[in-house]
Chain A
Amino acid sequence: MSVPTPPRSGWTPEELKRRRARSIAIGLALGFLVLMFYAVTIAKLGPQVLNRPL
């Protein structure tokens, strides 16, 4: 799939490349945040979370 051309004029190919790299970095950072929240939540719950009346 080709990368869609941005609507705004004045973006050089180099700027587009850098914008894409920044977007990927933001995406990775957000993904890492999700994983960190998940891991910390599990760690905070601890094994006792399974030991409860049903």
Chain B
Amino acid sequence: MSTIAQRFAPDLAPPRASTAEVGDFFALLKPRVMSLVIFTALVGMVVVHPDVHPVIAAASLLLIAVGAGASGCLNMWWEADIDAVMTRTRTRPIPAGRVTREEALAFGVSLAVGSVLMLGLFANWLAAGLLAFTILFYVVIYSMGLKRLTAQNIVIGGAAGALPPVVAEAAVTGQVSLVGLVLFGIIFLWTPPHFWALALVKSEDYARAGIPMLPNVSGPDETRRQILLYSLILAPFGLLPVALGFGGLVYLAVAGLAGAAMLALSVKVYRVRDGQPAARAAMELFGFSILYVFLPFSALLAEHAFGFFRPVPGLPW
């Protein structure tokens, strides 16, 4: 028995066997980022109390997650050269040689196109358009453009990571409201201090890869100032859901404390500038910043999905 290729082109070398495991393809989707996307998108859905069938909502959530995974996969396809020289990323499937760039490209494009089309068919085309925009923004604007060009790369690129609640709201309501935009704003303002805290510690890694992260371009002192500025804006901005009436007492308490802690850790990063204590302060901020998104969004979920909502007294609405 022979294959078609062997029969019609006997001189053709057999294609190289893929050595990828299923887990390698899963790793291409950046599962940790995907879990954050699922969580923030779920909150974006629940907060607006949609009148939509749960099956449609669940399918939409899954497709938003797949779209985010496709973005991660295409990002790894494009940045394989950078990933290979950074200690944090050199064990990823492509630089480690377990998945070829061609395989990653085919996988990423299939998932991206499939998730957008299916979201359009299952939910609506506004949501599909927003998901397509999110994927294109992350892959083309951020990965191919900004990341290697400007120190503001993650500020603008952060928009892609902040869009899932907006896409989710559009999927279950057919529109985008102030609720989705405020959730977008919280994640958008959170992104710079989160990544710059890591960049302060890993600046040599980024420099080796030739990525103009803020600490390499403007120096660690300017980075610390910018981290503090963003945290100063983020802490009060995080309370906007209360002012708009979709954040209750639980949210006020959690977001207030989380904002204060984020601010306190940013002040510490700003003040402690030398040696190991400075690196420790930056890593503390990085670690807590992950919690910063999780805690207030969990409060919103508890209030709107599990009946913990109690309006904040004194508000006129």
Contacts and interface: CB of A to CB of B under 8 A. Distances in A.
Interface in A1-54: 7-12, 15, 18-19, 21-22, 25, 36, 39-40, 42-44, 46
B59 A8 contact: no
Contacts of A19: 17-18
Contact of B19 (A7, A15, A40, A46): A15
Nearest to A5: B1
Given A7-B2, A7-B3, A11-B17, A40 B22 contact: no
B21 A21 contact: yes
Contacts of B53: 43-44, 46
A43 B55 contact: yes
B305 interface: no
B19 A10 contact: no
B14 A39 contact: no
Contacts of A7: 1-3, 6
Contacts of B14: 8-10
B122 interface: yes
Interface residues of B, number: 18
B2 A18 contact: no
Nearest to A24: B22
Interface string B215-226: 000000000000
Contact of A43 (B18, B19, B56): B56
B113 interface: no
B18 A18 contact: yes
B70 to A, nearest CB: 14
B17 A22 contact: no
B55 A39 contact: yes
B33 interface: no
Interface in B108-135: 122
B22 A15 contact: no
B20 interface: yes
A10 B17 contact: yes
A8 B17 CA distance: 10
A6 to B, nearest CB: 9
A19 B122 CA distance: 32
Contact of A22 (B1, B2, B18): B18
A18 B21 CA distance: 6
Interface in B1-53: 1-3, 6, 14, 17-22, 25, 53
Contacts of B21: 18, 21-22
Nearest 6 pairs between A and B by C-beta? A43-B55, A43-B53, A25-B22, A15-B17, A8-B14, A39-B55
11 contacts: A7-B3, A7-B6, A8-B14, A9-B14, A18-B18, A18-B19, A22-B20, A22-B25, A39-B55, A40-B59, A40-B122
Interface of A: 7-12, 15, 18-19, 21-22, 25, 36, 39-40, 42-44, 46
Interface of B: 1-3, 6, 14, 17-22, 25, 53, 55-56, 59, 62, 122
